[in-house]
Each structure stands twice: as structure tokens, then as C-alpha cells.
Structure 1
Amino acid sequence: MTSTDPQAGFKQAAGHFASGVTIVTTRNGDHVYGITCSSFVSLSLNPLLVTVSVNSHSPFLAEVRESGRLAVSVLADHQQDVSRYFSTRGRGRGEGEFPDLSTESMTTGAPIVSDCLSWFDAKLHAVLPGGDHEILIGEVVAAGGRDGAPLLYWDGNYRQLDMEPSDNRIERYADAMSVQLHLVGLDSTGLLDAQLALEPAAGALAAGVRSEPGLSALRDSLARSRALMDSPEAFTESALQFHNALGTASENPAIAASVQALGRSRQAHYANGTTWESMVRTIEAHEEIYRAIEAGDEERARALVTEHLTTVGARLCRQ
């Protein structure tokens, strides 16, 4: 949505850019100084340069200019308290060390937050104007880090990085459950009952959501099925993926995982008896379901999925 107020629009747009959280520090004589900063950028590899942007009214600028050194500590996901420490008025300056905060020094002597995710120790290279901020450029003389996840800041709140995409987790859990169901043995009646309990709801939810990734996955499944009608085995495998895509398009992780967990059982029961006529009927049914979802017709999508499963179930019973 476009804002008619450029400043409001800028703030809203900038707030939706996720950034890491850093602490920028310096040591100037007998005292240390630090601020929380999210505007940190790796600038150059030759020479090794980094930048941070600091409010023009911040006393930190004078401290760095005088000391000629700065360190950047990239906070780990468990260090929100460290960020808040430096965001609290009066805590940014300390005599010798920061009270109640563990730090260490490397090459320049500027403090580095203990247990941070990574750090850059630098000499002041240049200071550039940047509107109501000034841009400090540091020449890195030492750097390091460890394994872990970063602390993020997005839309006015601290966030944590999900190290494993949710889709991957769903697939992993669903696959484990699918193996167990296959080993236990799910007969055709049990499979159909499970599908009728899950997939019509998935179709209705997908129609309510109408997400482009969900619709795209359904379209891709249909296109693959049409292209494989000369190979009943490959067609069956592709057509069964439509059911998984239906679960994913619901955007409900529980339903998506449950539908996907039926995969091996569906393959075992649907592998035989695929004919040209059944392939044609399957594609027609899947296309109708897709059109209902694309149109956002939740009740029709639910009814069409139920009708399709009932037809398939009747064919299974005749085998």
C-alpha cells in the first residue's frame, strides 16, 4: 500500500527490513562507550571495511573520533538483554568496563561483547555525512565468530531466526509418520476414512487462503499429470502429489503434515488399476477442484474433494 506521507512511508518500509542487532563500542582513555546499532554493513574486502550509521547528536561520535577505534559485536539470538542494556539511558558509558556486562578486548582495545555471534575490531578509517546520521567507516584489523543463530530486529520487535524452514520440518515429520503408518499397515478403508477427514477441509482452507504459492503447486501438479498420461505408473505418482499440494495449499501445518503422512499408503493402494479412463477422470476432478480453490469457493472445493475421494474409494473397493 502506498503512503501519501513520504516520511511515514519511509519509516514503514524501513521497519519491514529485517536486520541483525549489533553493539558498537570504543575505548577512549579510561572509559568505554557503547551503543545498540542495527545499521551495520560489511562494505569492502580490499581493504577490509565495515560501516555503522550513528545519530549525529550521539556523544558516541566524539568518543570514536578521539579514540580512533571501534568494535562491532553481532548479537546472538539469546542476547536481547544485551541490546536492551545499551538501549537504556546512562548505561552506554562506563569507567574501565561496562557494569554488569562481560566483555573482552582483541587488537584495538575496544570492548567486544562476550559470547556474541561474531565481532569486528577496527581502526577508524573515515567519517562521512549522512543526513541526520554520520557514517563511521572502520578498517578491520581482527574479526571472528562462532556457530549459532543471530538476534534479528523486524517491525519494531526482536525476532529469532528459524534455522530450518517450516516446510522442511513439516516434510520431515510427515515422512516419519508416513513410514510408521506404512509399517503398521493402513488398509484401503482406513486410508479413505483418513483422506475424507482431512482433504475436504484442506480444499476449503486452500480456497479461503488462495495463496499464490499454493495455487502454483496445484497447477504444477496438474501440468505434470497431463504430461505423464502415457505412463500409468508415473501418472499415478504425479497425481498423488496433487493431494500433498492440496494439504500444503491449506497453509495449515497440521493438516499439511497429516495429508502428506498418508503418502506411502496412498501409493501402495493406488498403484494398481490405473487405466486411461481413470487418468482422464482424475485430471478432470483435479482441475475442477483447482478451479474452485482459485475462485475462492470454499464449499464447492470441499464438496468436490469429497466427491473425488468417494469415486476413488469405490474404485479401490472393486479391485
Structure 2
Amino acid sequence: MEPPCPEAHALGTAPDPRLFRQVVGRFATGVAVVTTVADGVDHAMTVNAFTSVSLDPLLVMFCADRTARFHDTVLTAGTWAVSVLPDGLRAASEHLATRGRPIAGQLDGYRVHRGAVTGAPVLSEALASVECRTHAVHEGGDHSIVVGEVLSLDLPNPEAEPLIFHDGRYRRIAR
């Protein structure tokens, strides 16, 4: 048996949050943008905590920081869309992850179309998109786990390479 790594914590002590970020950062994720419309204004937020939950019924989920402006907006709206980003939309990911950016016009400069069911903006160059209605919201520490009932699915740009996030950086798939 190998000795424990020096960064491991002893039983009964709380793990170091910095080490936690390093450890979970080793899990490669895709990058997506969640969008909604509230009072005629488009709202968007970059997420990498997005996944499928169930096939029956069709459910997906994303996690939203409770202190983010988007959090209360998307919960109040009740419907939203997810655009799974290709590697060509890294700038959009970075922009929509920036805290405190102006809300008005935040999707200007990106090609978007309205989701047929929710009316939420969908990035037209997305690899895939999902429109949802909020099914459940669960507390998850400083985040909310937002579970959505899938209302509509699309593959706007299925041949593009995905945008990947790993170890605190954007990555590309080597082919």
C-alpha cells in the first residue's frame, strides 16, 4: 500500500478549501451558458456544473452561486436555456463568467436565437442546447442546485469541438 499523499488531511480535521479546489479542478468539465429572460431583459451566466440527472422524466441540473445576480433571476423566471459551448466561444464563456458586468446588452456581439419553448436566448453556435422549466431547487452550501425539466432539445452545431475546463484553465481535446 502506498503512503498517503502529503496533502491529505487527517481524519477528524476539515479539508483545506484550497486543496478542495485543486482536487475537484482535476475533473475535466464542459462549459455551458445558462440563460433566461426576466421583464424583457436577457440574463446569462457561465457554468461548468451542468449535467443530466434523469431519463424518466428528462431532467438536467446546474449549480448557481447564491450571491450571483443570476441566481434569483433564474429562479423567479422559472424557465431557462442551456447552451453547451464549443471551443470557439471561449471569449463568451469568460465574459459571461465576469461578476459585475453590465446586465444590459451582455449578449451583444454573440449570435443568439430565441428558444422555441421558453423564449430564452440560445447561443446559435452552441454544440447543443436544452430548454427547461425549473423542476426543483436544492440547497447545496453556498450554491443552489437547480433541476430542470427538459422541454426542448437541439443540436445547433454538433460537429464543433467542445470547450473544456480542467485544472483552472480552458483546454482543447487533442485529436
- TM-score (norm. length: structure 1): 0.48
CA shift, 1:2, in A, is 4.2
In the alignment, the residues of structure 2 paired with residue 135 and residue 92 of structure 1 have an alpha-carbon distance, to the nearest angstrom, of 25
Q: Specify which of 25, 28, 34 is matched with residue 35 of structure 2.
A: 25
The offset of 1:99, in angstroms, is 2.2
In structure 2, the partner of 1:87 is 97
Q: Structure 1 stretches (4+) deviating beyond 3 angstroms?
A: 89-92
Question: How much does 1:92 deviate?
Answer: 6.3
More helix by share: 1
Residue 101 in 1 paired to residue 110 in 2? Answer: yes
Q: How does 1:72-221 map to 2 (within 5 A)?
A: 72-91=82-101, 93-94=103-104, 98-106=107-115, 107-145=117-155, 146-162=158-174, 164=175
- Between the aligned partners of 1:99 and 1:90, the Cα distance in structure 2 is 16
The amino acid of 2:145's aligned partner reads: I
Q: Deviations over 1:258-278 (max 9, x none)?
A: xxxxxxxxxxxxxxxxxxxxx
Q: CA deviation at 1:90?
A: 4.0
- Structure (1 or 2) with the greater strand fraction: 2
Q: Distance in 2 between matches of 1:102 and 1:139?
A: 25
- Normalized against structure 2, the TM-score is what? 0.86
Q: 2:146 corresponds to which letter in structure 1?
A: L
Q: Is the 8 A contact 1:74 1:116 kept in 2?
A: yes
Tell me the alpha carbon deviations over residues 81-128 of structure 1, each in whole angstroms, 9 at most, x when there is no partner: 110120234446236x72222211121111111111111111111111
Change (3 A) 1:17 1:104: same
Could you list the runs of 5+ residues in structure 1 that have no partner in the other structure?
165-319
Correspondence for 2:46: 36
CA distance in 1, matches of 2:18, 2:30: 23
Which residue number corresponds to residue 199 of structure 1? none
* Higher RCO (Cα < 8 Å, 6 or more apart): 2
Check the 8 A contact 1:33/1:92 in 2, yes or no: no
Considering only aligned residues, what root-mean-square deviation do their CA atoms show, in Å?
1.6
Question: Do the aligned residues in 2 keep the contact of 1:119 with 1:144 (CA within 8 Å)?
Answer: yes
User: 2 CA distance for matches of 1:66 and 1:8?
Assistant: 33
Residue 17 of structure 2 corresponds to which residue in structure 1?
7
Structure number with greater Rg is 1
